[in-house]
């Protein structure tokens, strides 16, 4: 890929998704985009870049953006967010909301669904009638990841990463080499594609909220400081006052201004909207 096309594609990707690819990542772009050449019978990556340039909203362009997302995730990632739900957040919400108003939770960079299903399992273990009272939305930019999340079928390797065996047996059923999420858990979660860097995000998720808890984990790292602020602002506008934002273990995003109170849990910060 020539440097002109590479640099053009980096700008395009940032405009469309917020994802920043540094100048030294040519190899990454090439390896992620190459499978599209065969699929669409395009001769080389320079031609692909040209196609995207002139057909920005075509399927190929959307697939190129999708291919550039990093969907690394696992069940119960980092554990402390789920401990925080069970010992701090859920008791507080159950008390504040009572039995009749549902608890709305959003996994805002849901990837292949492991985060949203982990939240559903944690809710089942600590809230009475969770299947009726807890609604979870999972969104992601990547249509491929969202299709996978909706299917709710995971390989042995995927469940081995983070899912304790007691929960596996209780909340999944094995079919051949794969594990299917139990229907009751699956029904608590709804998945949609959504772009965190678009203003329409707030209206897109309105019917699922306002949210009491938002997981926004391991995604802000891909964005510029300016974009991170805008994303945090959109999230705040989609939440209920007193709701919790749970970011990645090492993320202290810009945009967490005086509207947010840091709440310390096991040495990690959660963010409460004032
Ligand atoms: C590394 S995964 C994190 C998944 C999960 N939150 C976790 O912590 O395990 C990052 C996800 O962010 C998604 N993503 C990247 N840019 C996005 C955007 N602009 N809008 C929505 N999702 C985005 C990617 O598709 C990817 O699935």
Tell me if 72 CB under 6 Å of ligand 1.
Answer: yes
Q: Tell me: domain 80-273, CATH 3.40.50.10610, correct?
A: no
Give residue 21's pLDDT: 97
> Mind listing the pLDDT tens digit for each residue in 75-119?
999 999 999 999 999 999 988 887 778 999 999 999 999 999 999
Indicate if the pLDDT at residue 136 is higher than 90: yes
Give the distance (Å) from ligand 1 centre to CA of residue 223: 11
Tell me if 118 CB under 6 Å of ligand 1.
Answer: no
Average pLDDT rounded to a whole number, residues 235-255: 89
Domain coordinates in residue numbering, the chain: 3-67, 80-273
Q: What is the pTM of this model?
A: 0.96
Mean pLDDT of the chain: 95
Tell me if 66 CB under 6 Å of ligand 1.
Answer: no
Alpha carbon 181 to its chain centroid, in Å, reads 18
Atom of ligand 1 minimally distant from the CA of 18: 19
Give residue 257's pLDDT: 74
The residue whose CA has the least distance to atom 7 of ligand 1 is: 73
What's the number of CA atoms in the CB half-sphere (13 Å) around residue 60? 21
Q: Which residue blocks in 68-194 are alpha helix, DSSP H?
A: 80-84, 90-97, 114-126, 130-133, 143-151, 156-160, 165-171, 183-186
> Mind listing the pLDDT tens digit for each residue in 12-52?
999 999 999 999 999 999 999 999 999 999 999 999 999 99
Show the tokens assigned to 44: 């080389």
Tell me if 247 CB under 6 Å of ligand 1.
Answer: no
The rounded distance, in Å, linking the Cα atoms of 224 and 182 is 38
The rounded distance, in Å, linking the Cα atoms of 274 and 271 is 9
């Amino acid at each position: 890929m020539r440097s002109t096309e590479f640099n053009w594609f980096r700008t395009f990707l940032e405009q469309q998704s917020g994802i920043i690819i540094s100048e030294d990542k040519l190899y990454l772009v090439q390896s992620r985009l190459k499978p599209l050449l065969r699929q669409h019978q395009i001769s080389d990556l320079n031609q692909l870049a040209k196609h995207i340039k002139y057909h920005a909203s075509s399927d190929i362009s959307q697939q190129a953006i999708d291919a550039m997302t990093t969907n690394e995730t696992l069940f119960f990632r980092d554990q402390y967010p789920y401990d925080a739900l069970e010992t701090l957040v859920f008791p507080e919400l159950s008390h504040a909301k009572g039995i009749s108003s549902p608890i709305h939770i959003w996994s805002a960079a849901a990837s292949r669904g492991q985060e949203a299903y982990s939240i559903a399992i944690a809710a089942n273990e600590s809230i009475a009638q969770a299947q009726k009272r807890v609604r979870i939305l999972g969104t992601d930019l990547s249509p491929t990841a969202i299709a996978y999340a909706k299917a709710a079928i995971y390989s042995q390797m995927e469940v081995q990463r983070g899912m304790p065996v007691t929960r596996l047996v209780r909340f999944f059923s094995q079919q051949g080499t794969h594990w299917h999420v139990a229907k009751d858990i699956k029904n608590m979660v709804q998945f949609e594609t959504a772009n965190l860097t678009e203003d329409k995000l707030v209206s897109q998720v309105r019917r699922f909220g306002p949210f009491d808890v938002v997981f926004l984990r391991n995604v802000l790292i891909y964005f510029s400081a300016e974009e991170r602020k805008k994303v945090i602002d959109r999230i705040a506008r989609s939440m209920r006052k007193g709701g919790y934002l749970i970011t990645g273990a090492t993320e202290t995003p810009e945009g967490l201004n005086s509207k947010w109170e840091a709440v310390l849990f096991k040495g990690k910060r959660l963010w409460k909207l004032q």
